[in-house]
């Protein structure tokens, strides 16, 4: 930790952004995080399992997730379940989702000013959305955009969400200070070109001690974990 005592940077990939933000907001006494560079992070949540096609298994998985995702059995066994946010099930989400409501300071009676202070202390927050992202629903969650509570009809930009306007985690504070970069790049989930990486990521890492938080093949880990859980639930697991 001595090497990080003067501060360090985080590069978060997909689900890794949830871990990175947890480090920023929840950890006491650690070295400061300077720049947070986020690629395809589900910051405002995701409303469905990653796109896997129109087959029967995918349809069943999606239906099961939407019906049962806030049960403790899902929350305790599937990491991505902790940031699923169904816009028409907000009460269940706030009560049953184990991680994202805390991370985003969404529970009215449980808001923590320390989380906001720590997040707002970043020198730069770089949010990168992929235009053809079919893993995150909606893709704008990478920029803190999301569906309004109670509706699937449209996607609000970050600046029109309550998280921003009421400044639950300090995002508005950072933005008004010119410290947030909202960036769109072409490509699918995490498919960033070398030129875009050099343009949008490298400048924040030069001459700095950095740490990269990654999750390997998040799409396949997600589907595999759901399928394994389903098999166990209906008694199909081996042994």
Cβ partners under 8 Å of residue 234, min gap 6: none
Query: How many residues belong to the chain?
Result: 239
DSSP for 156-220, written as a single string: B-GGGSHHHHTTSSSHHHHHHTT-EEEEEESSSTT---HHHHHHHTGGGTTTS-EEEE--SSHHH
CA distance 98 to 125: 25
Phi/psi class of residue 214: alpha, beta or left (left: φ > 0; alpha: ψ in -120 to 50)?
Answer: beta
Contact 36, 24 (CB under 8 A): yes
| Integer Cα distance of 28 and 118 in angstroms | 10
Token pair of 213 as six digits = 């938080």
**Which of 50, 23, 11 is closest to 212 using CA atoms?**
11
Q: What positions carry a catalytic annotation?
A: 14, 133, 189
């Amino acid at each position: 930790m001595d090497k990080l005592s003067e501060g360090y940077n985080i590069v978060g990939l997909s689900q890794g952004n949830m871990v990175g933000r947890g480090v920023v907001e929840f950890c006491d006494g650690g070295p400061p995080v300077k720049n947070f560079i986020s690629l395809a992070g589900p910051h405002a949540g995701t409303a469905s399992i990653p796109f896997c096609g129109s087959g029967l298994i995918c349809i069943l998985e999606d239906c099961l997730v939407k019906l049962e995702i806030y049960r403790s059995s899902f929350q305790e066994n599937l990491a991505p379940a902790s940031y699923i946010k169904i816009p028409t099930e907000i009460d269940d989400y706030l009560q049953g989702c184990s991680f994202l409501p805390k991370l985003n300071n969404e529970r009215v009676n449980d808001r923590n000013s320390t989380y906001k202070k720590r997040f707002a202390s970043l020198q730069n927050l770089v949010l990168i959305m992929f235009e053809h992202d079919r893993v995150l629903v909606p893709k704008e969650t990478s920029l803190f955009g999301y569906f309004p509570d109670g509706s699937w009809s449209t996607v609000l930009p970050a600046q029109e969400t309550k998280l921003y306007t009421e400044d639950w985690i300090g995002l508005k504070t950072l933005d008004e200070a010119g410290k947030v970069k909202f960036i769109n790049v072409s490509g699918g989930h995490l498919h960033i070109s070398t030129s875009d990486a050099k343009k949008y990521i490298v400048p924040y890492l030069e001459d700095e001690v950095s740490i990269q938080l990654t999750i390997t093949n998040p799409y396949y880990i997600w589907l595999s974990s759901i399928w394994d859980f389903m098999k166990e639930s209906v008694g199909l697991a081996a042994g």
